[in-house]
Chains A and B, each alone.
Chain A
Amino acid sequence: MAKEQIVVGLEIGTSKVAAVVGEIRPEQTIRILGVGLTPSRGVRKGEIVDVETASRCVRDALADAESASDVDIRSVFLGVSGAHIKSCNSRGSVLIPEERGEVIPEDFEQVQESARQVAIPQDHVFLHTILQHYYVDGQDEVLNPVGMLGHKLEADFQIIHGARTRIGNSMRCVRDLGVEVTFPVFNGIAAAQVVLNVDQKNAGAVVIDMGGGTTDYVAYSNGAVKACGSLAIGGDHITNDISIGLRIPMARAEWLKVEEGSVLLHGDAAAGRVVLKPEAGFAGCAVDRHMLNTIIACRVRETLELVKRELENAKVLRYLGGGLLLTGGCSLLEGIDELAEDVFGFPVRLTHAHAVSGPASAFENPQLSAAIGLVKYAQVIQPVENKRPIRKFLGKLWPLR
């Protein structure tokens, strides 16, 4: 790995389309060269509902990113999300022939194949098969089993899968523009790459990415993905709730959420009123802050409770040495960390992309965590592709080519 490599991460979100052009450096760092950001249309709850419109937004974002970075974009790592994305843990096992008696790299492919023999819905495709641990003859936590003597190789995998057509729609949007999709990547996994460092992954950590249309969560334990998923609830729902609750137009509700939104129900943040100026077609009104905050807090609390329940079911909340981190557009809401602490019962931190260099305005924006994460993800799988055959499979098993 002598040369720098340019990688583009593209996230077609519900509220915005973000294209991040990054440079992967040999010393395992990345530098952001440029960002293209356009408001998104034709996307609901993280899924494309209007391919043409969404494709136009993608084109704008890519064009912005190209001019900002002076790079000709040919291929992207595409972030996908939506409630259709599901995950499960699966253990694969292979018997090593008696006469060989030791583990060779070819066994990895087989053990992964065997782990993939889980029942996923017929219309689903495998998105990621992430290695957790190896076991050789029951010996726990083997890091690299090549050359080890044994009769049986087992491995735990986190398997992430999603609906073929919905992922296909996202890819269509990009392909229609003549840009190749290198890999589709689950947004949650991507965001975790830049939000967490190795220590946090080892100590156990949860990343919750509350975006516009979806809330993606990923739980790490012992350095490996233990659980992840996506809820089709996000900032869009907050805006919708405000619009319905306060009987104001959607655009006003969005403005209120972004500019004045808070989940605090006491103190200054919940006192007084916000005045919405009259404009053409809108009479203008004053909104009680307490009321506004109540609406937002209800939704955010519920969403976090749902995530908490999922994480409890996956039994990952017990050892979180790395803490619980909140990112995504919704994490900009005032007081959301306090509310999350109240829900989960332990400290919650707001965070954004780390371990990158470039314009601070880009990586310090929690909205861009997933898009920057895609670039990081590209870096993470790059060396692995050369060394370990097991990850090469990602490409082969992706049937939407």
Chain B
Amino acid sequence: MIEINRAPIQLKDYQVRVIGVGGAGCHAVDRLSKEGLAGGDLIVANTDVRALNSCVTPTRIALGQKLTRGLGAGGDPDVGRAAVEESLDAVCESLAGSSLVIVLAGLGGGTGSGSAPRIAEAAREHGAHVVVLTTTPFSFEGKRRGEQAVEALGLLRENSDLVICFENDRMTSLVDATAGVEEAFSSVDALWVQAVRALVSMTKRHGIMNSGLDEISAALSGSYSTALFGHGLADGDDRVNEALRKALSSPLFGVEGEISAASGLWVYVAGGSDLRWAEVQMLMTEVNRQVSPDIRLFFGAGIDPLLNGAVSLTLLAGVPCMGKAEIARFERRRREVAATSVFAKAPTALSVPPPTVLEEHEPVHESEDIQGYRSPGMVADEIEEESEPVFFVESEAVVVDNSAVVEPVDELPQETLLEPPSEELPLPPVAEVPPKQVPKPPFERASELRRDIGAALLKRRVVETHSRSEDTFSEVAEETESSDRLSVPVEGEVAEAPVPAEIVELAQPEDLVEEVAKPREALVALEAQTGQAPASHPRSKPTVQEQMHFEPVNRGRFEKTDPTMIDGQDLDVPTFMRRKVSIGGESTTPNT
């Protein structure tokens, strides 16, 4: 008998760590921890202790407390660098054993620009794949900060595997001029968060067509370009085009037409099992139309059962911002740094063996091979949170993963799925969601409601009958009045409604259907019994019923144009008709 080895190949624990460095980085990571990020540990590191204290992220590292006395780096990258050297042990400890480290830093200041390159370097020394997400400062922040950012960016490029750089100046275009500062910054954070989610989920997802960090890296031609990032989620008939439109109009996706200047583009589309080939084809045709023909295009597609009915599209494009010579110089420096870090520096205080240069990329590729169809893909963030921990942490074979993914489908409300990922609503981590406290069993609640409605209906009938007998003219008014009251008892305030006790008594839930359907005579009799029923609505003054015009409005030659609406009036309709000006008798007489 042939033995089939079903024991899954053991994967090295693929640990993702997201570390926010400096003010901006901490903000973004804090936002992530508020919203929850599945499959990654969050760390904040800052020189400013006050800022750290306001963070909710559990792992907090105060950088250079002796040096800065916890007061921040004062916008000086040298201070930031020295601070991280002082606290390097703590940083290394928190990053120990990571396979992928995502560094978030806003460049231009002291901590972000000074510490982030050193932290990236440290992470790489310990064998992690390092991806850096940065922002460059607004141009109004001054030339100096800009220069510091450029310098730091250079260092980061040397010390990491991939740098994705967003320009803050781009973000001004997306924020409405009237938006509050708070709102503006949080929308910027939200975009960052989206990008992190994309990266994290990418390392943990399966796809039909694989796509990974290596491809992203290639699309961005290493780290030497400005990254344009766009994400779109849409459903419905025209979902593919809609998703593409959303992704292209993402604020970080550059100004109109900038995509045509991109040298590389990474496209990842994910959909439910109903994702059709024709749709993917249509999408890619459309994408190709937007970009220059000789672009380096990387395409990945994945199926996520949770996306049933929706399509999620992620675009990452690289617009070259450096000349070839400059790139070569950076590449050389990077190799040098990597070489020295491997052979000269022994890792401090960590048990992880020193990795070789080649091995730096290993964790990702290895895991990809083993998992076969695993592919990155950014899907609705909410979905990831719920599904991911299940299938990745265990690192089981593909089949197991799928079942694990499918399982939560029923539990996940459809609305969550369709929510745009940029939604600011903080999503509590799955574990923290308390079991829903339903105040009453549904049946009980429903019957109660029915009773209430029943009572109201019955009352209304009685009132109507009564008013008819009393004053026919007041009928309309009464009817509206009673229907107004209809809403009161539905809210469970039966006692407050001015209904005679007998009527309420009659309208018990058991026999309410029959009660409502009772012949009219019975109701009249009932009314006779109660006697004082009409006392509560003595308004019997005749109301003038307004006439409704149902004739179609004639707009003549403007029939097919946008209406010119002013004060709720369609000005394309002749004035004399709107103002009801009599233009006198027969308008025209036949010419004899």
A interface, CB within 8 angstroms of B? 44-45, 49, 83, 117-120, 122, 231-233, 236-237, 239-241, 243-248, 250, 273, 275-278, 283-288, 290-291, 294-295, 298-299, 301-302, 306
Contact = CB atoms under 8 A, between A and B. Distances in A.
Interface string B580-592: 0101110111110
A246 B587 contact: yes
Contacts of A240: 555-558, 572, 574
A270 to B, nearest CB: 11
8 contacts: A244-B556, A275-B591, A284-B591, A288-B584, A291-B583, A294-B576, A298-B576, A301-B575
B590 A119 contact: no
B564 A232 contact: yes
Nearest to B590: A285
B561 interface: yes
Contacts of B558: 44-45, 237, 240
Given A119-B177, A240-B556, A245 B583 contact: yes
A288 B178 CA distance: 54
A286 B576 contact: no
Contacts of A248: 588
Contact of B561 (A45, A231, A250, A275): A45
A294 B554 CA distance: 18
Q: B556, B575, B576, B581: which has the most chain A beta carbons within 10 Å?
A: B575
Q: B579, B584, B588, B591: which has the most chain A beta carbons within 10 Å?
A: B588
A213 to B, nearest CB: 10
Contacts of B579: 298, 302
B556 A286 contact: no
B577 interface: yes
Nearest to B561: A44
Contacts of A232: 564, 571
Nearest to A243: B556
A295 B583 contact: yes
Contacts of B577: 244-245
A286 B591 contact: yes
A219 to B, nearest CB: 19
Contact of A245 (B178, B587, B590): B587
B255 to A, nearest CB: 10
Contacts, number: 102
Contacts of B554: 244
Contacts of B587: 245-247, 287-288, 291
A295 B577 CA distance: 9
A277 B587 CA distance: 16
A174 B581 CA distance: 43
A299 B564 contact: no
Nearest to B563: A232
A217 B58 CA distance: 62
B566 interface: yes
Contact of A117 (B177, B555, B561): B177
A209 to B, nearest CB: 17
A241 B575 contact: yes
A278 B588 CA distance: 13
Main secondary structure of the interface of B (DSSP, over half): loop
A278 B566 contact: no
B574 A244 contact: yes
Given A299-B575, A306-B566, A287 B588 contact: yes
Contacts of B557: 236, 239-240, 243, 250
A246 B564 CA distance: 22
Nearest to B554: A244
Q: A248, A283, A291, A299: which has the most chain B beta carbons within 10 Å?
A: A291
Nearest to B588: A285
B203 to A, nearest CB: 36
B176 interface: yes
B178 A286 contact: no
Nearest to B179: A119
A275 B502 CA distance: 76
Nearest to A290: B584
A237 B588 contact: no
A295 B576 contact: yes
A237 B572 contact: yes
Interface in B167-182: 176-178
Contacts of B590: 283-286
B589 A119 contact: no
Interface in B431-488: none
A207 to B, nearest CB: 21
Given A119-B177, A232-B564, A237-B558, 8 more contacts: A240-B558, A245-B576, A250-B556, A285-B589, A287-B587, A288-B588, A294-B583, A295-B583
* A-B pairs, 3 with minimum CB distance: A284-B591, A241-B574, A119-B177
Nearest to B558: A240
Nearest to A239: B557
Contacts of B574: 237, 240-241, 244-245, 295, 298-299
Contacts of B576: 241, 245, 294-295, 298-299
Nearest to B556: A240
Nearest to A302: B575
A83 B583 contact: no
Contacts of A119: 176-178
B439 to A, nearest CB: 45
Given A119-B178, A122-B176, A285 B583 contact: no
A248 B587 CA distance: 10
A233 B564 contact: yes
Nearest to B584: A291
Interface string B540-581: 000000000000001111100100101000011011110101
A365 B571 CA distance: 28
A243 B558 CA distance: 12
A246 B581 CA distance: 14
A45 B564 contact: yes
Contacts of A302: 571, 575, 579
A301 B584 CA distance: 19
A237 B585 CA distance: 23
B549 to A, nearest CB: 15
Nearest to B579: A298
Contacts of B572: 237, 240
Nearest to B586: A288
Nearest to A120: B177
Contact of B581 (A83, A250, A278, A298): A298
A243 B577 CA distance: 13
Given A241-B576, A298-B576, A306-B566, A49 B561 contact: yes
A247 B176 CA distance: 49
Contacts of B591: 275-278, 283-286
Contacts of A285: 588-591
Contacts of A283: 590-591
Contacts of A245: 574, 576-577, 583, 587
Contacts of B564: 45, 83, 231-233
A288 B582 CA distance: 13
A243 B590 CA distance: 16
Contacts of B571: 232-233, 237, 302
Contacts of A243: 556-557
A273 B592 CA distance: 13
Nearest to A293: B583
A117 B572 CA distance: 35
Contacts of A286: 588-591
B71 to A, nearest CB: 30
Interface in B189-236: none
A45 B571 CA distance: 12
Nearest to B569: A302
Given A275-B591, A288-B587, A294 B581 contact: yes
A262 to B, nearest CB: 14
Contacts of A49: 561
B466 to A, nearest CB: 48
Contacts of B584: 288, 290-291, 294
Nearest to A233: B571
A123 to B, nearest CB: 11
Nearest to A119: B177
